[in-house]
Amino acid sequence: MTQPSPDAPSLAPADPDRPAPVLVTGAAGALGTAVRARLAAAGRPTAALVRSPEEADALRSAGTWARAVDLLDEASVADAIDDAHRDLGPPAGALLLAGGFAMAPAADADLRALRAQWDVNVATAASVVRALVPVLRVHAGGTLVGVAAGQARRGGAKAAPYASAKAALAAYLRAVDEELAPEGVRATVVFPMGTLDTAANRRAMPDADPAGWIDLAVLADVLVQAIELGPRGRWREVEVHPDAR
């Protein structure tokens, strides 16, 4: 990894011999781990944003550029994106994987519960978009990819705060795309239309058949492709479905 230099320009030039890096939030999560593996296989540097300093240390020890940052802290997000840009060069885009889920009957979900889901699923993406757009504009663009959920399309019992937050994330990214695509800053929303096959879901639903869940490696592949597609044929929205079981 290139070490930061105090004299480094704040806007690093692109290196034509190296695939552009990709910024990944939630990079230590289940999907984040699969995405890092997919990016490594493609030879693309990852700028990993994770929550805990221990996770950042572990990633750095394994040779991945990483910063610990609370994505709800806009100043820290801006600093981390500056550092990534300086150290790795201009990114091809960002995979906005950070998110969270909480079940709550609609009548029990107070405004605090609603806001918590919007914070973890919308604000964690918006803080990165806000800090990254100026960088992407200077370097002729890039793609911002968010992960929504089936509930954003169809609702879901005991999922009102989560479904509303994921639908808001999708609307936010549609608006970003509409506004900024003429400047080369594109946005894609990926909708996993089912449960992801993660260790946490296997623990939480021991009687379910994971064969009916979405394979993390497949979803990671879709997410990275969303960044790699060029402006002349790209996805604005993608649904990823498992077979019904």
Ligand X SMILES: NC(=O)c1ccc[n+]([C@@H]2O[C@H](COP(=O)([O-])OP(=O)(O)OC[C@H]3O[C@@H](n4cnc5c(N)ncnc54)[C@H](OP(=O)(O)O)[C@@H]3O)[C@@H](O)[C@H]2O)c1
Near ligand X by CB under 6 A, which window of 59-67, 84-92, 188-196, 237-245? Answer: 188-196
If binding means CB under 6 A, how many residues of this protein chain bind ligand X?
24
When asked if residue 139 is in the footprint of ligand X (CB under 6 A), the reply is: no
CB of 210 to ligand X, least distance (A): 11
**Sign of CA pseudo-dihedral 47, 53, 55, 57:** positive
CB of 138 to ligand X, least distance (A): 25
Nearest-angstrom CA–CA distance, 87 and 65: 9
Near ligand X by CB under 6 A, which window of 26-34, 110-118, 131-139, 232-240? Answer: 26-34
Closest CA to 166 of 101, 220, 106, 94: 101
When asked if residue 46 is in the footprint of ligand X (CB under 6 A), the reply is: no
Near ligand X by CB under 6 A, which window of 134-142, 180-188, 193-201, 203-211? Answer: 193-201
When asked if residue 198 is in the footprint of ligand X (CB under 6 A), the reply is: yes
Closest CA to 166 of 131, 201, 118: 118
204 contacts 221 by C-beta, under 8 angstroms: no
When asked if residue 171 is in the footprint of ligand X (CB under 6 A), the reply is: no
When asked if residue 147 is in the footprint of ligand X (CB under 6 A), the reply is: yes
Among all chains, which residue has been given the structure tokens 């070490």? 3
Q: CB neighbours of 145 closer than 8 A, spacing ≥ 6?
A: 93, 94, 95, 96, 187, 188, 189, 190, 223, 226, 227
When asked if residue 195 is in the footprint of ligand X (CB under 6 A), the reply is: yes
Report residue 113: phi and psi, to 5°.
-65, -40
CB of 38 to ligand X, least distance (A): 13
CB of 127 to ligand X, least distance (A): 9
Cβ proximity to ligand X, 73 vs 178, nearer residue: 73
Alpha helices in 4-52 (DSSP H): 30-41
- The residue within the footprint of ligand X, chosen from 99, 141, 142, 161 (CB under 6 A), is 99
153 contacts 191 by C-beta, under 8 angstroms: yes
When asked if residue 88 is in the footprint of ligand X (CB under 6 A), the reply is: no
Cβ neighbour number for residue 188 with a 10 Å cutoff: 24
When asked if residue 30 is in the footprint of ligand X (CB under 6 A), the reply is: yes
When asked if residue 149 is in the footprint of ligand X (CB under 6 A), the reply is: yes
Site residues, ligand X (CB under 6 A): 26, 28-32, 51, 70-72, 97-101, 120, 124, 147, 149, 192, 195-196, 198, 201
